[in-house]
Amino acid sequence: MSFFHSLRFRMTVLVLLAVVPPMLLAIFFASYQAAQIIRQEANQNIASKAQALAHSVSRWEEKYVLALRNLRVQPGIVSMEAKQQKPILQRMVSVYTDAYLIHTLDLNGMNIARSDSEKPKSYRDRHWFIKAVAGNDITPQTLIGRTTGKPALCLSTPIRQESTITQTEPTQPVSSSNQQQSVSIEGVATLCMHLSKLTQEVGAVRLGQTGFAFLVDEKGQVIAHPDTKLVSGKELTDLSAYPPVKAVLQGNINLSSFVNQASVKWLFQGYKLNNGWGVIILQQASEVLQQERRFWQLAMLVAAVAVLGVGALTWLLATRLIRPITDLTIAATALSRGELNQRVNIERNDELGTLAKAFNSMAQQLHLSFARLENMNEELQVRLQQLKQAQTQVIHSEKMSSLGQLVAGVAHEINNPVNFIYGNLQYADEYTHELLDLLRLYQQHYPQPVSDIQAKATASNLEFVLEDFPKVLCSMKVGADRIREIVLTLRNFARLDEADMKVVDIHQGIESSLLILQHRLKAQSNRPAIEVIREYDELPCVQCYPGQLNQVFMNLLTNAIDALEELKMEKLKAECLNQSTNLQPSTQVQPANLYIRIRTELLDKNWIVIRIIDTGTGMTKEICEQIFDQFFTTKPVGKGTGLGLSISYQIVTEKHNGHLKCVSSPGKGTEFMIEIPIQQQD
Ligand SMILES: Nc1ncnc2c1ncn2[C@@H]1O[C@H](COP(=O)(O)OP(=O)(O)OP(=O)(O)O)[C@@H](O)[C@H]1O
Ligand SMILES: [Mg+2]
């Protein structure tokens, strides 16, 4: 499964798609609002600074206007006498620190009194004098102080004197209504101040790195500016063409912007004071916007962190959610491989926990079912084995029982006539003796019989017959005895009627088997007779199933005969090969030494062993390991079924609690050992 198809990846993408857009939207709107507030605050800051500065400048000026108004009405001043005016002016200049000169002038513009020690001067050409004489209440004028070289403000006001004029009419009494108050301008009072305090105040206004304030008079000339170059020299710098100044002189303005020659955008706010002056505050737009920009950058950083955080959290959550599924998948895969003891350890109370429990119980059930199936399979295997054994036994016992029945039938059929013959032979013997005695008696009493009888006696060789006939009967008796013995042996081999254990002579069983196999032991056209060497020990009778043990003897003897015949055949083939290739003269092929040795021994007081040893082909180790397996045979189809030894093994080991062992080496021969107890344990 590729990474992009994994559930974890899909879940993460899904959650990001669902969460991130609204989250980014929310962050954007919140940031937008905040940016607006920041911008408003920045603007507010400019506005409030501008307002505060305007207020401060107005108050400063008003203070001096008020002082001047107070001055002009003082009697000493109104008296227009230098003696009286001078101390007042000197006291006042010492009180108002910004003031550097206060003086009075007559209507010709000549000083009456001055606060300083300068000689009286004429100021008749000055604008402020002309305006004051013309009756203007307060006339301000900004200028560069001649002595200080710094901006200064001169305020002038007319000095008025009140006089009462009485109009006398002859017919009217004198009354107040006839008296008229007249105010005449007697001179001019002027107050001159440095603007250094204002310059300081204006210079102290800073907004960030680039923001500053400045002050212009009603003509647009700079009277206070942080840049000292603009407020020095002989003349005031005219900035009336400067866009903010131009705008302010036309009236109060809200926050505006302009781009200077250096293409820098500035934000500014200005106030026009009552006296016509303008207060202007500027700040570079980039600086104002910088905060906003920084805020936006922060907002974007927050958004990025939020997206990454959501992504990471979702990933972790998906991993946590999917881990049980992964565990389940691993367990299910292992289960499908046959590892049925697989269980998942997921302790949860949700659907995954339920799934895990269901999986575990399914695995357990599967395990149980499989174990049950395995048990059943084992049982079936055992049953199959038993069935096979039963089948084998049936086949073999069928074979043996057919042979037994045949043998028993033949024995039975022979037994009757033989008994008949045997039973009558005694009578025949008796009758023969009687007849012979009678004949001899005739010969004694009639020595010379008639010629016919004499001729017949001579022809039938009577003397020989008389002598030989008893011998014939005797030999017939011996033959009949032999037949009876054979029949007994045959019946002994068959033992059809003996299903239970019997205590029998083992040698009898071996002999009866040998009798059955007699025809195979005899010399054949292609081989000499097989010699049977009997080395019987004195054995006690053994408790056994005689019929079944006979089967074992038959099988082992048949195999031995087969092995000897095969060896003979191999030798013959080798001989033929040698003859055809003329490698060796045929006389060099030695006749095979064909014999079967049957040795019985008493192993100890409880056990006997019967060894059947042949000098046949022998077996390799591999064949030896398989000979007791059912249906294992090296013989051609039709000759061997591969059941003989497996049945023999079963009879010896299971039925008689004995051992059947084999020692063999190829080309040398084979020895089978049947070890059985003399007495079976109950
Ligand atoms: N004495 C022996 N010498 C050499 N090989 C033997 C001898 N006895 C048994 N064998 C080998 O063991 C095999 C199995 O013997 P077993 O008696 O079980 O089956 P079989 O003789 O082939 O067939 P059958 O069922 O007719 O007896 C034989 O095919 C043979 O190869
Ligand atoms: Mg066999």
C-alpha of residue 567 to centroid of ligand 1, in Å: 14
C-alpha of residue 627 to centroid of ligand 1, in Å: 7
The residue extents of the domains of the chain are 353-497, 501-682
Average pLDDT, integer, range 159-184: 64
Among 597, 635, 672, the mutation site with the greatest number of ligand 1 atoms within 8 A of its Cβ is 635
Q: How many helices (H) and strands (E) does the chain have?
A: 15, 18
Measuring from each residue's beta carbon to the nearest atom of ligand 1, which residues come in under 6 Å? 555, 559-560, 563, 614, 616-619, 623, 627, 632-635, 640-646, 670
Residue whose CA lies nearest to ligand 1 atom number 4? 618
pLDDT at 158: 95
Among 557, 612, 626, 627, the mutation site with the greatest number of ligand 1 atoms within 8 A of its Cβ is 627
Residue whose CA lies nearest to ligand 1 atom number 7? 559
Contact by Cβ (8 Å): 363, 330: no
C-alpha of residue 559 to centroid of ligand 1, in Å: 5
Pick the closest to residue 649 from 664, 665, 630 (CA basis): 630
pLDDT tens sequence across 395-438: 766 777 777 778 777 887 888 888 888 888 888 889 988 988 89
Angstrom distances, CA of residue 118 to CA of 72, 86, 327, 387: 21, 12, 107, 153
Strands 531-535, 278-284: pairing is unpaired
pLDDT tens sequence across 193-252: 988 888 888 888 888 888 899 999 989 999 888 888 888 777 888 999 888 998 888 886
- Nearest ligand atom owner, CA of 561: 1
Angle at 67 between CA 61 and CA 70, to 5 degrees: 145
pLDDT tens sequence across 57-70: 899 989 999 999 99
Neighbours of 647 (CB within 10 A): 24
Residue whose CA lies nearest to ligand 1 atom number 1? 560
* pLDDT tier at 19, thresholds 50, 70, 90: confident
Angstrom distances, CA of residue 38 to CA of 33, 102, 288, 294, 632: 9, 49, 9, 11, 102
Place of tokens 């001078």: 86
CATH number corresponding to 501-682 = 3.30.565.10
Position 552 pLDDT exceeds 90: yes
Residue whose CA lies nearest to ligand 1 atom number 13? 633
Compute the mean pLDDT over every residue in the chain, rounded to the nearest whole number: 86
Among 392, 398, 530, 559, the mutation site with the greatest number of ligand 1 atoms within 8 A of its Cβ is 559
| Start-to-end CA span in the chain (Å) | 69
Contact by Cβ (8 Å): 425, 477: yes
pLDDT at 652: 95
Alpha-helical segments (H) within 136-284: 196-204, 243-249
